[in-house]
Each structure stands twice: as C-alpha cells, then as structure tokens.
Structure 1
Amino acid sequence: MDAPASPNSGNPNPQYRTAAIDAFLAGLSPWELIYLRSHFRDGRPKVGGLASFEDLPAELVCITATEHLRLEDVLNCRRVSRAWRAAWDCEAVCSALCRYFFPGLVEIHAEDQEQASARDLFLQEAEQFLRRRHGNPLQKSFIVWDDAWSSEVFRNNRPEGDDEDAPQSNILAPPQSHQSLPVVYGDGKVAWRPSNTRIIIDDLRTRQRQICSFSQFYLSGLILNLESVTKDLLVLVAKGGNTVHVWHLNLEEWRRITLPARFSACYAEAERAVFVTAESHVVSWNWGGKALDLGAKEEANLGVLKNSWSHNPPSIIWHPIRRSTLFISFVYHHIGAHICNREVHVLKYEDGKPVKRFTEIITCFAETDLSLTNMSVWLTSTRCQKMNSHGLYLMATVCLEYPPTSTFSSEIRNCRPVAVASVAFNVLTEAFVQRHYLNANGNPTEHFHRSEEVAMAVLSDNWRSAWGDQLILIGQRRCDPCTRWFQVDYHSSQAESSGPGPDISERQSEVNHYIDPSERGDVFCDSGFMVFTTTIGMLVWAFCDVPELPVLQSSATCP
C-alpha cells in the first residue's frame, strides 16, 4: 500500500489530509518532534482564517459569560493568559458582567464623580460575593456581653472632668441579667439594652462604645422598647403605644413623634425613618423635618383585585441614592375561580407622592412536579430586608408544601419536606427576582426532624435573614436545635448550571457548635458583618477591614 501523499498534494478531502499529517508525524524523530513543538509554542507557524478567543467582539464574550459560565468560571477564564484577561477586562464586557451577576451595581455608582471602572467594580464585588458565598470571613470573634463603661473589646471616652481613677459604678447602674436581651443591628452598630434605663451602642467598625441613658422616661412611668439603630439614630417606642422617641447618636438630642395609631414597625436609615402602624398607616420622618402620612393604605387598595387581602402591614424600602424616593410593598392573597394567587405590590413614592406601581405574581413553585390540586404553598411576608449593597431587598419567602386536607392538629406529620424560595425587588433596576434555595449540603429540600418544626419555623416572625445568595433560618429553641444555611439553587439558572453550588456545611456546623440552642438569639447581615446573637454574647464574622477583634476561641474554651 502506498504511503499517503504530502498534505500539500492538493486533495481537498479533510480525512485524506489528516491521514497524511499523521503519517508525516509518525516519520519524525524524537528530536524533530521536540523542535516542531517548540515552534508551535513560540507561535512561529501563523494560523490564518481562525479567530482566537481574544479576537471575539465584546458582544460574543458577554453571551459566552451570561449563557454558559458561572461567576467562578469567568474569574478562572481571566487567568488563562494575558490575551484572555485583556478580552475579559474590556469595559463593555465588565459592564455587562456587572449588570448580569450584580444587577444595580453600575446604577448605584453612576452618579459617583470618582466612579471606578466597570472592571474594578466587578472584581471588587465578585471578591466580596464569593467570600460570603463560601463563608470565609476576614475575622471571626465571639464577644461576651459586657456593660461596663469600657469593655475588653469596646472603648469609651470618659466624660470631661471625670477622674480616670474614679470608680465606674457612679456612671452605670449594676447590670441586670442578659436573659432575652433586646438587640438590634444596623450599619455595623450593635445596640442592646442591659436595663430599663440605658442602651449600649457598640460600633464594630471602630470598636467604640456609646451609652444612651433614658432614665427620665422610666422614672415617669414610660417603658421604651428598642426598635432600630442606624449610623446616626437610635429609635425607641413606647410599649403598646403610638409615640416614638428618637435619639441622635452624634448630637445626643431627643425627638418625639406621635403616630395616628399603635406602632407596628420601623424602617430607619441614616437620619430618616418610616413608621408603620398596626392599621397600615405609613408615616415618613427625617431628623430636622416633620412627620408625613403617605396615605399608602388607600393608594395600595386602588390596584388590588376583589377577594384579595393582606395579612401583614406594609414594608418599606429606602432608595440608596435618592433621599426623596422610597418604596412601599404589600403582599396580597387573591382567591379566584379555581386558583389562589399571591401577589407582591410595590408602590414608588417621590417627594411623598405615589408615582408608579409594580406588581409580581409569585410563581416560585409553579413548575413543581406536584399537582397544584394536591398541595398548598405557605407564603410568609416579612419585613423588607436588604440583601446586597446594590438595591436588592427581600420581601417574602415561600415554603411548606402539604396536602390541603391535612390540619395542624391531626395530619401535619404527613406534610412534605420544606422547599424554600424568596421574592425580592431591586429598587435600582426596578425589577422583581424570584429564587429557589438549596440547603448548605446541596440537597434540594431541607428535612426537619419533625413536622411541627416546619410550622414553627414558617410562622415565626424573625426566623430568617438574608444576604447575597444566602438565606439563613434560625432554629427554634424548643424543637429545632440548628441554624440552617440555604444557598440559591444555581441549577435553576442557565448561566450557573455548569457546576455544583458551594458547600458551606462546615460553616453551618461551626455556627451551631458555638451557639447553644438554649442561648440562640437573632442573626443580622450586611455587607460588612454577620452577627449571631445569644443570651451571653455575639458571634461576629467580619467581611470588611476593621480593627482587630479578639480571636475566636477554641471549642474547649468557648463560652
């Protein structure tokens, strides 16, 4: 049989040419193969007619990322070569990556005169996002409650004229028991009330302590509940009443606001606050200004179908850039001919007037393999919680499927495992986001030890907190000893279906190890910290650069 002719013999058949090349390579000596390989590595043979990745236009690079790659894959692609990095660092590509992976990120920096490039925005946000996703804080510390004037962790300047050697007992009353300690969190500050006459505000960013004394209210017979803290304000509410007392942390001055009905909820940010009453009045207020009833209850009912109702008061979302803009959300149930819809209505207000309405039908479990006639879905509306630093807010969670014939008293043990989903709204892109979640171990549903635990978790007011792509469920003291982590189900996303979601079960186990079920409190999340409170102290995870905190003790010595 004759040997194949040279690849340049002119035969256009690709199979023939491939066979000729194989025969040519088979006849080369080892030295000649090494010589040929070095030439290809140096790029001496010029290949024409084929485009490499770096030759692709920005539009095709964006399509590659959004339709086929996870966030981790994009970052790995940047490490392939300098040419690939240059292709990914194109401003148009990075802007598209920001809008896809982090909606609202470009918008929140659009008015910044010293705006960083889209590349820097994307890389910085991706680093923070993945650090949170995998549960790798920069610092971890357990801080025991200590209401001394200055503690081992937090420092406080003594009042002017006080002798440094003077006893501290003349400044603070003896501490009471910290059982069921009221704690709130905001902007890196933890406010907690050790007694009925004072509140301690500990700043995790500066390790400074501030003390608010309100003994004058207590002596007059007024009991104040701790409701909210921001970088500027501390909000207290008369127990069971309609009066709100606000203390400015920097000016150390008080303001009093009288509401049209009994207080229900407070949404505070910086020097502004919105108060919601038990009758769904929405009152906007800011320091130095007057209170304004927005009339949101009447406005919300204008666009609601018949046979619809809302069990919970409205929730408030602040616009992160425009101080005159806020959003009010209502969650409605609607009974039709053969269906029961659940809808989220969001009203946009500018300068105290409604300007736009957004509506979303909740379809989190519409594609489940269970027949809608054989199951019910529990929807739990919640206080709007900030989920990231670029405009996303959690408004409701959807959980618990079980046969409609079952009852809490008799057949609840036959309910199906919990499936968790969330409904959120981005105030910068003005778009809804619905998500499915997996537990930290990667299972599609979270199995509780007993069905009663499902009911208690779903019906609890403060059972969840969220940040980024994580949803944290606080175990109930009496029946559920665990705090559970949920991750977004990336297999339900086309762009993130190429690999498994992160496994942070080790971090979940660590939290449950350090926090005894009988001492568990709440969990708070923001861009800088995760704070898990207990009756004896708080477990702090720091994801930002802050003064060094005490190192987390080993399990043998942990309180």
Structure 2
Amino acid sequence: MQITADQPAQRAPASPTHDRTKKQAIDNFLADLSPWDILYLRGRIRDATIVLSGLQDLPPELICLILSYLSVKDFRSCRLVCKAWATAWAQDSVLARACRNFFPGLLETYPTTPGRQLFSMAVNKRKKWQRPFSKYTWMRWNQGVSGIFRESTPPPQLGPVPVDSWYPSLYAKEKLAWQPRLDRVVVDDLQTRERHRFLPPGGAMAGIQFRLVCISDQLLVMREANQPNRKIFIANLNTKEWKTISLPGPFATAHTEGKTVGIGTSTGQIVAFTWGGKTTQLDLTRVQTCPPGSERLFGGVANVLPHPTQDNAVFGVWACSRKISSFKQISFVVVKFEDGQPVWWATEDIPNPRRHANKDCNQESYLGLSFACRKSDNCGSFALGIYRSQNQVQTLPSICYRCLPATRVGDWGAVSFNVLTQTFKHYEYRSSRPDLLWIGSPQPHLTTGRELLFVDAHLWNEDLLLAASTIDGNMRIDLHLQTIHAVGSGFSGEPRWAPIRLRDPVHAARTRIFQDDDFVVVPTIGGVVMFEPSDSPSEGRPVDNFVDALETHQPLDRWKSETVILIKDDPTSEIPSARVTLLQLASNQ
C-alpha cells in the first residue's frame, strides 16, 4: 500500500479552525470502530509507505527560483542527488534558466537552440581545459611560401623566408594577424589554413606605415604608425577593400566585432564605424563618464565595445576611482549608445578587500588592475577589469588576516560585462603561485632571480589565464602560463603549460597572450606558440630562435592598460611607500 501526501501547491492553506474540525472528525471515526477494526487499521498504516512531495513535484517556475540562489557547482551537484532530482533539473525550461544565470549571452547568441543542448555545449567547452597536460605547436614567422598555409596568390619568393616580427600581433576568431614590416600585414587562418596578405592602397611603394589594432572575423583595423596618430585604416577580410577614417584626436583604443569598430581617442572622443554604414562621433555632452567625487583612471580614455547583433550600438566603458575614508573604490562606468546617442547607463564596483580593515592595521594595500576590456567568450562578454590584491613590494600578495573580508577567498578577481544581456558578473580566483609580482609597469623585466613578474592575463569562459616571466642569473628569460578556474565553478584541474624561452627582457615585459575555445596563442618575436589541452604532454619546450638582421626595429608597444593602484594608505609609515619601491624595481638595471 502507498499513501501519497497531497502536494502543498495544490490546496489552499488550512486555517486553525479547519485543523481542529478535521481532528475531531478523525476522533469521532475512531470512536465508532471496534477493537478488531482498530487492529486492522493499525496494520494497514504500519505497512503503508508515505511519499511526501519532492522537488520533482514542483512546477518549473519554482525550481528556477531555487536555481537563482545556486552556483554552477551547486547546480551540477544537485543533478547527482538522485534520479528524480536529475529529471527535475534537466527540464528544458530549467536548463534554459541555468544558461541565462551561469552563461550570459548564450541564449541570445543561439536563440533557437534548446536549453539542454546549450548547457551541455557550455559545460563541455569548460571541461576541455581540465585536461592534465597541453601540447604545443611552434610556428616560425615566414613571409615566403608556406608549407602550412595556402594562398590564392603565392608570393614571388620561391621558398620559405623566415623573418622576425617586432610588432604586436593579434589573434581572434581563429585568425592570427602579424606584421613582418610596418607596410604590410599577414593574416593566417588557423582553422582553414588560408593565408591573406594586406598591403595599403597604392601598394608598399605608397610609403604608408601602420600598426595592428584589432581584428574580427570580418575586419582588420590598423592605425598610422607615425604622428599625429589620427588616421585609421580598415580592411575587409573577405573583399580586401580598404577604407580610411580620420579621428578627432590621437588614437588610444579600438575594439571590433563583426563589421563594427569602436574607437576611443586619447583626448576623450569616441568614434563608431560600420562597414557599409556610416562613421559616427558619439555625443558625450549628456554623459557622466565619471561619478561625482571620482578620479578618472587611464587618462579618462574609454574602451568602446561593439554590439554583436546591433550595428548601430556600442558601449563606452570608463574606469575611475573614488576615495572613501582611507580607502579607494575602483568603479567602471558603462554607457550604451545607439545611433550616437546615450540610451542606457550603469556602474559596477570592484570590491575593496580592505574596505572593512582593522582600525589598528597600518599596512598599505595595492590593486593591480588591467583595463584592456578584451573579449572573454564568444557570447558577447568582455572582461572590463582583471585585478589582483597585493601588499607592499613583496612576492606574497598577503593581506592582514584581520582585515581580509570573510567573504573573499581569492587573490585574483575579474569583472565582466555582457553586451547582449547588459549584465555584470564577478569572479574570484585562488592562484597556486602567490609569489607572482605585479609591478604595473611596461618597463623591461630586468630583475634576476626566480621572481615571477606579471606579464599579461586573459579571461576566457570564466577561466583566468596568467602569464609571468622569470630571469635567471644567466639572463635566460622564460614565460610561464597558468590557468585558474573560478572559485565555485565546480571545475578543477588545469593543463600544465610548457615554459617558453624568450629572447630578451623587453619582449618579456610586452608579450600578449590570447585564448579562445580552441587554442592558447602566444606570439613571440621569432614565431608563435599554439597550445591545446591534451591527455599527454609534448616533448621539449618552445624556444624563440634568432634570425640575423641588419635592420633596427622599433620596440614592441601597446596602449598602457595596466596599473597598480594604492587602495589603502599607511599614514603612520615612515618607510618609502611601496609605489616608490615598485618604480625603483622597474627601473633597476
């Protein structure tokens, strides 16, 4: 016999009077039974199985409400409790809500795909980077005939021509763009193995020189290499057409998505360009890019993020700080523009780890901050800020235990913004290498020893990829990589990356790393290293080889998007501040 209790959601709440009447009716019923009837009834009750309402009996709307309070790790654990719970959590509407909560922009990117399929796809992408090892491919820069990439119009050289690329390279959407010289760009597609070469209008003899800025699956964006730095060249990757636009101020930042480009100048203006459309300077007269009482960071320069599906929409992002008592709060201001006019505005703060510090603690605290605003997934997310909490110029980022908030569990953090859902997300990371030092300077890494000096960071699918360099007593420079999963993500384990032997300290300090769903890409002077997760390691290590050249090249450069910010003063300290020590370290010969 099985007795199933009524579901609470299917009946109205009983009043106290109703409960008393019901109990009285039961008592009257039992009073009319003979002893044999009572014995029979007791046996039936003893052998009965009482089944209460479970999670599977709740409507999907209530399960989605519970889901809003869970992390990815909690959600995946709930699906393993029992078969009934697995069925309840696997409903299409529940999985669609899970995608919306945990993977912003996924539903908007694939609106016709079922939630079950999307959730499985998102989890599998993250599981890929849990493999224990990595394999790498070293590819030498070659401007001649390539045995790897095919071209519709081969170059005049009969064979390979190894070269050095002293200028910043770019990688996005499986496309690797690099420059053998300042008057040309080579774009290699790592998936299709096709190569395209781009020369300025009029050919190399026109005397135009440019630097790579950004790349999408449709556009290649470059800036003029010389002053006044106000001219932008845009090439269509499919048709190889060129367009040129003039900026109202010197170039500072640019981002591209699809056929839209957003550009910020060093004097504060913003320009949006759409291929096949028009060039628009945004109206900033009614925009408050810095809250009252705040100080602009990075010179007040904005990062401009295009919208993946709206050609007329871009988002301007500014970083600022404001003093709260003896603390500094770092904030991001995000403004959406449509057809050049502001239509939406929001701010988001980085939690200050010393916001509730012990009053008797006089320890200085610093925040290393990256404001590159690079893409962090293929569903409309950008990493507004990647940051790290650290104290004075020591290799340990420890903060006074009496001051550290109980809610904070990591030394690294990131704030992302999704342009499709217009929502923010915070992530925390606990690194196994607390000896990494972020000096916040693009100066060459000239300190010797086994100190790890921060080089670059890239957020992708909520995983944080860090790059740091070391220099030994023989001036051998190695670049080390580390992948960290977000705290509470439920993912563990990361690939072991083979260290890369670099050429010189100047290159070590200015290296950029890239990641997408398929590769980790590390361009060097002599070539590019492409990593993939693997179940077995590759033999050896990548080494950047030398090529004899008589030319004198300009050094690698990029817009300074990293800094170290003092977020808590030490008013009683008589020793030089950590910032001064950091600058001394950066200029140490």
Residue 97 of structure 1 aligns with which residue? 98
Residue 580 of structure 2 aligns with which residue? none
Residue 378 of structure 2 aligns with which residue? 389
Structure 2 CA distance for partners of 1:484 and 1:140, relative to 1, 3 Å: closer
Post-superposition Cα deviations, 1:436-462, rounded to whole Å, max 9, x if no partner, equal 2112x4xxx7222xx5x5445899997
Residue 20 of structure 2 aligns with which residue? none
The answer as to whether partners of 1:477 and 1:517 remain within 8 angstroms in 2 is no
Residue 520 of structure 2 aligns with which residue? 530
Query: What is the aligned-residue RMSD (CA, Å)?
Result: 3.9
Q: Counterpart of 1:121 in structure 2: which amino acid? A: L
Post-superposition Cα deviations, 1:162-187, rounded to whole Å, max 9, x if no partner, equal xxxxxx54589x84641535311121
**Secondary structure in 2 matching 1:279:** coil
**Secondary structure in 2 matching 1:554:** coil
The answer as to whether partners of 1:140 and 1:539 remain within 8 angstroms in 2 is no
Cα distance in 2 for partners of 1:557, 1:264 equals 33
Post-superposition Cα deviations, 1:238-284, rounded to whole Å, max 9, x if no partner, equal 11321111222222222111111211122122222122211121111
Residue 51 of structure 2 aligns with which residue? 49
Output aligned runs, 1:61-80, within 5 Å: 61-62=63-64, 67=69, 70-71=72-73, 74=76, 77=79
Quote the offset at 1:213 in angstroms: 2.6
Structure 2 CA distance for partners of 1:377 and 1:557, relative to 1, 3 Å: closer
Residue 170 of structure 2 aligns with which residue? 184
Structure 2 CA distance for partners of 1:193 and 1:78, relative to 1, 3 Å: same
Quote the offset at 1:359 in angstroms: 1.2
Residue 463 of structure 1 aligns with which residue? 456
Post-superposition Cα deviations, 1:368-423, rounded to whole Å, max 9, x if no partner, equal 766686333325241211112233211123324326xxxxxxxx349744932222
Output aligned runs, 1:425-436, within 5 Å: 425-436=417-428
Output aligned runs, 1:493-532, within 5 Å: 502-504=492-494, 507=495, 509-512=496-499, 514=500, 516=502, 521-532=511-522
Structure 2 CA distance for partners of 1:143 and 1:263, relative to 1, 3 Å: same
**Secondary structure in 1 matching 2:315:** strand
Quote the offset at 1:154 in angstroms: 1.3
The answer as to whether partners of 1:226 and 1:235 remain within 8 angstroms in 2 is yes
Cα distance in 2 for partners of 1:76, 1:85 equals 7
The answer as to whether partners of 2:165 and 2:180 remain within 8 angstroms in 1 is no
Post-superposition Cα deviations, 1:508-546, rounded to whole Å, max 9, x if no partner, equal x4232x555757642112334321223333232468xxx
The answer as to whether partners of 1:472 and 1:483 remain within 8 angstroms in 2 is no
For normalisation by structure 2, the TM-score amounts to 0.69
Structure 2 CA distance for partners of 1:376 and 1:252, relative to 1, 3 Å: same
Structure 2 CA distance for partners of 1:102 and 1:302, relative to 1, 3 Å: closer
Do structure 1's residue 155 and structure 2's residue 153 form an aligned pair?
A: no
Structure 2 CA distance for partners of 1:246 and 1:103, relative to 1, 3 Å: closer
Q: Counterpart of 1:97 in structure 2: which amino acid? A: A
207-216 or 253-262, larger mean C-alpha shift: 207-216
Residue 212 of structure 1 aligns with which residue? 198
**Secondary structure in 1 matching 2:180:** coil
Do structure 1's residue 116 and structure 2's residue 110 form an aligned pair?
A: no
Quote the offset at 1:70 in angstroms: 4.1
**Secondary structure in 1 matching 2:120:** helix
**Secondary structure in 2 matching 1:383:** coil
Q: Counterpart of 1:523 in structure 2: which amino acid? A: I
**Secondary structure in 1 matching 2:371:** strand
Select 1:284's aligned residue among 272, 278, 283: 272
Structure 2 CA distance for partners of 1:141 and 1:431, relative to 1, 3 Å: same
Output aligned runs, 1:190-269, within 5 Å: 190-214=176-200, 216=202, 219-239=205-225, 240=227, 241-269=229-257
Q: Counterpart of 1:244 in structure 2: which amino acid? A: I
The answer as to whether partners of 1:232 and 1:270 remain within 8 angstroms in 2 is yes
Select 1:376's aligned residue among 362, 365, 369: 365
The answer as to whether partners of 1:156 and 1:208 remain within 8 angstroms in 2 is yes
Cα distance in 2 for partners of 1:69, 1:293 equals 41
Cα distance in 1 for partners of 2:454, 2:71 equals 37
Structure 2 CA distance for partners of 1:473 and 1:69, relative to 1, 3 Å: closer
Quote the offset at 1:9 in angstroms: 6.7
Residue 126 of structure 2 aligns with which residue? 129
Q: Counterpart of 2:292 in structure 1: which amino acid? A: L
The answer as to whether partners of 1:248 and 1:254 remain within 8 angstroms in 2 is yes
Cα distance in 2 for partners of 1:557, 1:260 equals 43
Cα distance in 2 for partners of 1:486, 1:77 equals 27
The answer as to whether partners of 1:457 and 1:475 remain within 8 angstroms in 2 is no
**Secondary structure in 2 matching 1:124:** helix
Cα distance in 2 for partners of 1:244, 1:266 equals 10
71-80 or 318-327, larger mean C-alpha shift: 71-80
Quote the offset at 1:353 in angstroms: 0.6
The answer as to whether partners of 2:55 and 2:85 remain within 8 angstroms in 1 is yes
Quote the offset at 1:489 in angstroms: 4.5
**Structure 2, unpaired ranges of 5+:** 1-37, 400-410, 445-452, 545-589
**Secondary structure in 2 matching 1:475:** strand
Q: Counterpart of 1:125 in structure 2: which amino acid? A: A
Quote the offset at 1:321 in angstroms: 2.3
More helix by share: 1
The answer as to whether partners of 2:259 and 2:275 remain within 8 angstroms in 1 is yes
**Secondary structure in 2 matching 1:398:** strand
**Secondary structure in 1 matching 2:98:** helix
Cα distance in 2 for partners of 1:217, 1:463 equals 35
> What is the aligned residue count?
473
Residue 15 of structure 2 aligns with which residue? none
Cα distance in 1 for partners of 2:75, 2:532 equals 26
Q: Counterpart of 2:296 in structure 1: which amino acid? A: W
The answer as to whether partners of 2:141 and 2:528 remain within 8 angstroms in 1 is no
Post-superposition Cα deviations, 1:174-229, rounded to whole Å, max 9, x if no partner, equal 84641535311121100111123332111012111111134956534432112222
45-54 or 146-155, larger mean C-alpha shift: 45-54
The answer as to whether partners of 2:141 and 2:162 remain within 8 angstroms in 1 is no
Quote the offset at 1:84 in angstroms: 4.9
Post-superposition Cα deviations, 1:46-100, rounded to whole Å, max 9, x if no partner, equal 844334554444355446655466448627836964x554333212211221122
Q: Tell me the percent identity.
A: 21
The answer as to whether partners of 1:71 and 1:101 remain within 8 angstroms in 2 is no
284-293 or 119-128, larger mean C-alpha shift: 284-293
Structure 2 CA distance for partners of 1:70 and 1:247, relative to 1, 3 Å: closer
Quote the offset at 1:474 in angstroms: 2.0
The answer as to whether partners of 1:181 and 1:192 remain within 8 angstroms in 2 is yes
Do structure 1's residue 483 and structure 2's residue 480 form an aligned pair?
A: yes
Output aligned runs, 1:315-330, within 5 Å: 315-330=303-318
Cα distance in 2 for partners of 1:69, 1:557 equals 38
Post-superposition Cα deviations, 1:457-498, rounded to whole Å, max 9, x if no partner, equal 8999972211022222222465884434353542xx5xx5xx
Cα distance in 1 for partners of 2:261, 2:184 equals 22
**Secondary structure in 2 matching 1:322:** coil
Select 1:311's aligned residue among 289, 295, 298: 298
